[in-house]
Chain A
Amino acid sequence: MNILVAMSGGVDSSVAAALLARAGHDVVGVTMRLWGGESDTGCCSVADVDDARRVAQQLGIDHVVFNFTDDFAAHVVEPYVDAHANGTTPNPCVECNRRIKFARLTERAALLGFDAVATGHYARIGRRDGRRTLERGADRAKDQSYVVHMLGQDELATTLFPVGEYADKDDVRQVAASLGLRTAAKPDSQDVCFITSTGGRPAFLGRRLSLHPARVVDSAGRRLGALPSVELVTVGQRKGLGLPGGGPKRYVLDVDRRSGTVIVGSDAELRRDALRAEDPTWVDGTVTGPVLVQCSAHGSAEPAQLTLVDGVVDVRWDEPQRRVAPGQAVVFYDVSDRYVLGGGVCAT
Chain B
Amino acid sequence: MRPEAVAAMVPFLTERFGNPSGSHGVARDARRAIDEARDRVADVIGCGPGEVVFTGGGTEGDNTAIGGAAAGRSVCPAAEHHAVLHAVERAGGTVVAVDALARVDLDALAAALGPDVAVVSVMAVNNEVGSVNDLAAVASVVRDRAPGALLHTDAVQAACWLDLRQLWPHVDLLSLSGHKFGGPKGVGVLAVREGSALEAIIVGGGQERERRSGTHNVPGIVALTEALALTDEQRVEENVRIGALRDRLVDRLTGSVPGVRETVPRTAKVAGSAHVMVEDVEGEALLFLLDRAGVCASAASSCASGAMEPSHVLAAMGIEPAWSGGAVRLSLGRTTADADVDRALDVFADVVPTLRSRMRPRVAP
The chain A residues found within 8 Å of chain B, CB to CB, are 31, 33, 43-46, 49, 53, 64-67, 69, 107-108, 110-113
A/B interface sample: 26 pairs, CB < 8 A: A33-B303, A43-B303, A43-B305, A44-B304, A45-B305, A46-B305, A64-B306, A65-B305, A65-B306, A65-B307, A65-B308, A66-B307, A67-B284, A67-B307, A67-B308, A67-B309, A107-B360, A110-B358, A111-B282, A111-B285, A111-B359, A112-B285, A112-B288, A112-B289, A113-B289, A113-B354
The residues of A that contact B197 with a CB separation of less than 8 Å are none
| Contact in complex: B288, A33 (CB < 8 Å) | no
Q: Give the complex CA separation of A169 and B309 in angstroms.
A: 36
Q: Give, as a whole number of angstroms, the nearest-CB distance from A333 to chain B.
A: 32
Choice from A44, A108, A110 contacting B282 with Cβ under 8 Å: A108
Choice from B282, B304, B358 contacting A46 with Cβ under 8 Å: B304
Q: Give, as a whole number of angstroms, the nearest-CB distance from A271 to chain B.
A: 44
CB of B355 closer than 8 Å to a CB of A:
yes
The residue in A45, A53, A64, A108 that gathers the most chain B C-beta atoms within 10 A of its C-beta is: A64
Mark B348-365 against chain A: 1 for CB-CB distance below 8 A, else 0: 000000110011100000
The chain B residues found within 8 Å of chain A, CB to CB, are 282, 284-285, 288-289, 303-309, 354-355, 358-360
Q: Give the complex CA separation of A319 and B202 in angstroms.
A: 72
With A64-B288, A67-B284, A112-B285 already in contact, the answer to whether A53 and B358 are too (CB < 8 A) is no
Q: Give the complex CA separation of A49 and B303 in angstroms.
A: 11
With CB as the reference atom, state the residue of chain A lying closest to B306: A65
Q: Give the complex CA separation of A33 and B305 in angstroms.
A: 8
Q: Give, as a whole number of angstroms, the nearest-CB distance from B352 to chain A.
A: 12
The residue in A67, A107, A111 that gathers the most chain B C-beta atoms within 10 A of its C-beta is: A111
With CB as the reference atom, state the residue of chain A lying closest to B303: A44
- Among all A-B residue pairs, the 10 with the closest Cβ atoms: A44-B305, A33-B307, A67-B307, A65-B306, A49-B305, A65-B307, A46-B304, A111-B358, A46-B305, A67-B308
The residue in B285, B305, B360 that gathers the most chain A C-beta atoms within 10 A of its C-beta is: B305
The residues of B that contact A43 with a CB separation of less than 8 Å are 303-305
| Contact in complex: A111, B355 (CB < 8 Å) | yes
Q: Give the complex CA separation of A44 and B308 in angstroms.
A: 11
Q: Give the complex CA separation of A296 and B27 in angstroms.
A: 70
The residues of A that contact B354 with a CB separation of less than 8 Å are 113
Q: Give the complex CA separation of A291 and B67 in angstroms.
A: 67
| Contact in complex: B358, A113 (CB < 8 Å) | yes
Q: Known A-B contacts: A66-B307, A107-B360. Give 12 more (CB < 8 A).
A: A33-B305, A44-B304, A44-B307, A46-B305, A53-B306, A64-B306, A67-B307, A67-B308, A67-B309, A108-B282, A112-B289, A113-B358
The residues of B that contact A66 with a CB separation of less than 8 Å are 284, 307
Q: Give, as a whole number of angstroms, the nearest-CB distance from B229 to chain A.
A: 38
With CB as the reference atom, state the residue of chain B lying closest to A31: B305
Q: Give the complex CA separation of A45 and B306 in angstroms.
A: 11
Q: Give, as a whole number of angstroms, the nearest-CB distance from B159 to chain A.
A: 30
The residues of A that contact B284 with a CB separation of less than 8 Å are 66-67, 108
The residues of A that contact B282 with a CB separation of less than 8 Å are 108, 111
Q: Give the complex CA separation of A31 and B307 in angstroms.
A: 9
Q: Give the complex CA separation of A65 and B289 in angstroms.
A: 14
Q: Give, as a whole number of angstroms, the nearest-CB distance from B312 to chain A.
A: 14
With CB as the reference atom, state the residue of chain B lying closest to A45: B305
With CB as the reference atom, state the residue of chain A lying closest to B355: A111
Q: Give, as a whole number of angstroms, the nearest-CB distance from B327 to chain A.
A: 14
Q: Give, as a whole number of angstroms, the nearest-CB distance from B298 to chain A.
A: 13
With CB as the reference atom, state the residue of chain A lying closest to B357: A111
Q: Give the complex CA separation of A107 and B354 in angstroms.
A: 15
Choice from B288, B306, B355 contacting A49 with Cβ under 8 Å: B306
The residues of A that contact B355 with a CB separation of less than 8 Å are 111
